[in-house]
């Protein structure tokens, strides 16, 4: 049985005061949750405060990106050991906003995954097609290229230490969610691909989240799909009431 995982990607939001207010509420409201892994991903500057606040809670912390070198002359970058040092356990890699605005490629995603794994961070690796690719019937080809590039050189054992987030880019922050059937079709395809690239056991055990305008009113039908193991949530993770409702879907 794959354990579901709900992660909140706060993006470029929440200063220290706002972040601490939010996690204080989440900690209280979600303390009895046991059936789902919960992660919040704040900006780098508050990772340590948020991690400290969540010590001994059932909520883990993740960063939103990392650089693959450990240290050196790389002004402005943050490495896996530094993220680990804050108490964070996860790191989002290859988010579509990083691909779109900051030149992230499958090759850089691959280097970042290897750096994260080397230092014991759990990568949440984002893949997904843009609208033009979907409309051109290219979705599966895009997903295949992203998986082959991003996971090149990894072993089955390493794959089982990461989480994949399938996020159709046209559904991120747009209010347009993929239908449960559209999402399931791609999740199933990803599992088939992983079975070919690695093995059947790895493809069945690995967790694949869906991301793209997940809200309390659509989570039920999406998460009911056989190959969907939780959600990567942007907008709805910024308010405690909506994030709590999303997590509590799994506790019913």
| Active site (annotated) includes residue 119 | no
Alpha-carbon span 151 to 117, nearest angstrom: 12
* Catalytic residue, candidates 49, 95, 133, 187: 95
- Kindly determine how many residues on this chain lie close enough to bind ligand PEP according to the rule CB under 6 A: 14
Main-chain phi, psi angles of 56, to 5 degrees: 65, 25
For the segment 148-177, give every residue that binds ligand PEP (CB under 6 A). Answer: 167, 172-173
9/146 with CB nearer ligand PEP: 9
186/214 with CB nearer ligand PEP: 214
Residue sitting closest to ligand PEP (CB): 234
**Angle, to 10 degrees, between the axis of helix 106-118 and the axis of helix 139-150?**
40
Alpha-carbon span 109 to 104, nearest angstrom: 7
Cα 19 from chain centre: 19
* Catalytic residue, candidates 49, 97, 129, 167: 167
Closest separation in Å from C-beta 214 to ligand PEP: 5
Alpha-carbon span 105 to 107, nearest angstrom: 5
C-alpha pair distances (Å), 177 with each of 73, 140, 215, 239: 41, 18, 9, 19
Is 9 among the residues that bind ligand PEP (CB under 6 A)?
A: yes
For the segment 208-237, give every residue that binds ligand PEP (CB under 6 A). Answer: 211-214, 232-236
95/248 with CB nearer ligand PEP: 95
Alpha-carbon span 228 to 222, nearest angstrom: 7
Alpha-carbon span 80 to 130, nearest angstrom: 29
| Active site (annotated) includes residue 187 | no
65/198 with CB nearer ligand PEP: 65
Residues labelled catalytic? 95, 167
Give the footprint of ligand PEP on this chain (CB under 6 A): 9, 11, 167, 172-173, 211-214, 232-236
């Amino acid at each position: 049985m794959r354990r579901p995982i709900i992660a909140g990607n706060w993006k470029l939001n929440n200063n220290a005061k706002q972040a601490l207010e939010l996690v204080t509420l989440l900690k209280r409201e979600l303390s009895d949750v046991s059936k789902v892994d919960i992660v919040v991903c704040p900006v780098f500057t508050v990772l340590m405060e948020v991690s400290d606040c969540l010590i001994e809670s059932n909520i883990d912390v993740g960063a939103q990106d990392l650089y693959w070198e450990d240290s050196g002359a790389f002004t402005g970058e943050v490495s896996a050991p530094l993220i680990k040092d804050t108490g964070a356990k996860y790191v989002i890699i290859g988010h579509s906003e990083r691909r779109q605005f900051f030149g992230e490629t499958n090759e850089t995603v691959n280097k970042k995954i290897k750096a994260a794994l080397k230092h014991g961070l759990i990568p949440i690796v984002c893949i997904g097609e843009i609208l033009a690719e979907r409309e051109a019937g290219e979705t599966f080809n895009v997903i295949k290229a992203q998986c082959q590039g991003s996971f090149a050189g990894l072993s089955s054992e390493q794959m089982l230490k990461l989480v994949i987030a399938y996020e159709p880019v046209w559904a991120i922050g747009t209010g347009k969610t993929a239908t449960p059937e559209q999402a399931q079709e791609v999740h199933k395809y990803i599992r088939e691909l992983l079975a070919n690239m690695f093995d059947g056991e790895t493809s069945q055990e690995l967790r694949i989240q869906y991301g793209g305008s997940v809200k309390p009113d659509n989570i039920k039908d999406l998460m009911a799909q056989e190959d969907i193991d939780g959600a990567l949530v942007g907008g709805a993770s910024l308010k405690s009431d909506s994030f709590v409702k999303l997590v509590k879907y799994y506790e019913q």
